[in-house]
Amino acid sequence: MSVVDKLIKYVKYETTSDENSVTVPSTEGQRVLVEELKRELQALGLETALDENGYLFGYLRNNTGKNLKKLGLLAHVDTSPDMSGKNVNPRILPYEGGDIVLNEELQIVMKESDFPQLKDYVGENLLVTDGTTLLGADDKAGVAEIMEVLEYLFQNPEVPHGDLHVAFTPDEEIGRGPHHFDVEAFGAEIAYTMDGGPVGELEYENFNAASAKVTVKGRNVHPGTAKDKMKNSIFVAMEYADSFDRKDTPEHTEGYEGFFHLNDIEGDVEETSLYYIIRDFFEDTFEGRKVQMMEAASALNEKYGEGTVTVEIKDQYKNMRTMVEPHMYLIEHAKKAMEMAGVKPIIKPIRGGTDGAQLSYMGLPCPNLFTGGENYHGRFEFISVESMEKAVTVLKNLVSIYAEEV
């Protein structure tokens, strides 16, 4: 079974995570896929450990007799709740350029004008959806690529390798991936997440992240007699939102620029809630953003009365760069593995987060490698077969590099 065949198999498992669930994993479908992966790992000769929270570890033992670093490879099995992952219907399309009709009946078209990066894939084979679901290459492509490398090592036992520790984890898409990850039981000294995008991506910087809930209290009075009595929480909430620079948002920022993102709003005259995420690469400006949110609330409380606006901020994850920089050989080895595969390394910050960010702060330095996918979390998600094959070659090279290091 080829790497793309593995991906096609895995995406047909419904594994959408659910941020409103209190179970671990958050959805049962994730556990179903992990059970299948456990069987596949065992068939490839790995020792396995699957805990009650749906974290699957696999161990392939050192075959060199040398004292080598224990290398971890990780991917997550859940898909984003931003779009349905049920009844995914993938197909392979030889891409010759232009627009791609995903679903003729529903007139769903991936337009080259909307996604100019399609021009980079002319002559390649693209795995696409039928336009009614996401694909799930984020991160089942990472799962498939790791499994492909393990199958290669199983079929070629003469290939030298150190201890390989594999982890397939739940709930990354809702920020809980490492929450029940037992680093000590996993046993790797260093690791890589296979959770990046286009070919060449190599990432060891990510956002500092926090969530914020802003609650605005109003006072409802019959509108016929409301003069000088009513306090409409909706208008106060709008005023709060307007206190931030409209350009300081995801749709106007790139590179190392951070943002405030108003992700949801709900309410009525009596009470309105605004839900934000805060993102910034730099610790000082990240903390400054949190202060800015509190100061905006204070200004409105001074205007409308104490207790009108309250802000609850929760830190989510930190920039892994601080924890990876003492181990820069991780990056150098990954660059070498890519160059050996004819891939140009593209070192860039992640405008988001991965399990590796939290795991790095848990004592497991863990940069991120490309899987080859594009347009994650939506109906226009796709991945190139050739990109996946390059990712597999890079992983094979990486295993070889670590097998040579004593």
Q: Please tell me the distance from the alpha carbon of residue 388 to that of residue 397, in angstroms, as a whole number.
A: 14
Q: How many helices (H) and strands (E) does the chain have?
A: 10, 18
Quick one: 104 exposed, middle or buried, by C-beta within 10 A (0-12, 13-18, 19+)?
A: exposed
Q: Which of 14, 172, 203, 280 is catalytic?
A: 172
> Look-up: residue for tokens 């004593």?
406
Q: Which of 14, 40, 78, 205 is catalytic?
A: 78
Please give the backbone phi and psi of residue 79, each rounded to the nearest 5 degrees, phi first. Answer: -120, 160
Contact 356, 74 (CB under 8 A): yes
> Look-up: residue for tokens 């337009």?
111
Q: Please tell me the distance from the alpha carbon of residue 174 to that of residue 80, in angstroms, as a whole number.
A: 8
* 377 belongs to an annotated ligand binding site: yes
> Coil, helix or strand for 174?
helix
Concatenate the DSSP letters of all residues of 360-395 into one string. Answer: HHTT----EE---EESTTSTT-EEEHHHHHHHHHHH
* 173 belongs to an annotated ligand binding site: yes
CA angle in degrees (0–180, nearest 5) for 393-194-178: 155
Q: Please tell me the distance from the alpha carbon of residue 77 to that of residue 60, in angstroms, as a whole number.
A: 20
* 195 belongs to an annotated ligand binding site: yes
* 124 belongs to an annotated ligand binding site: no
Please give the backbone phi and psi of residue 158, each rounded to the nearest 5 degrees, phi first. Answer: -80, -15
Q: Which residues contact 217 (CB under 8 A, 6 or more apart)?
A: 231, 233, 270, 271, 307, 308, 309, 310
Quick one: 72 exposed, middle or buried, by C-beta within 10 A (0-12, 13-18, 19+)?
A: buried
Please give the backbone phi and psi of residue 27, each rounded to the nearest 5 degrees, phi first. Answer: -140, 150
Question: Is-catalytic flag, 172?
Answer: yes
Q: Please tell me the distance from the alpha carbon of residue 214 to that of residue 84, in angstroms, as a whole number.
A: 28
Q: Which residues contact 22 (CB under 8 A, 6 or more apart)?
A: none
Length of the chain: 406
* 5 belongs to an annotated ligand binding site: no
Q: Which amino acid is at 331?
A: I
Annotated binding site for Zn(2+): 76, 138, 173, 195, 377
For the annotated catalytic residues, the residue numbers are 78, 172
Question: Which residues are annotated as part of the binding site?
Answer: 76, 138, 173, 195, 377
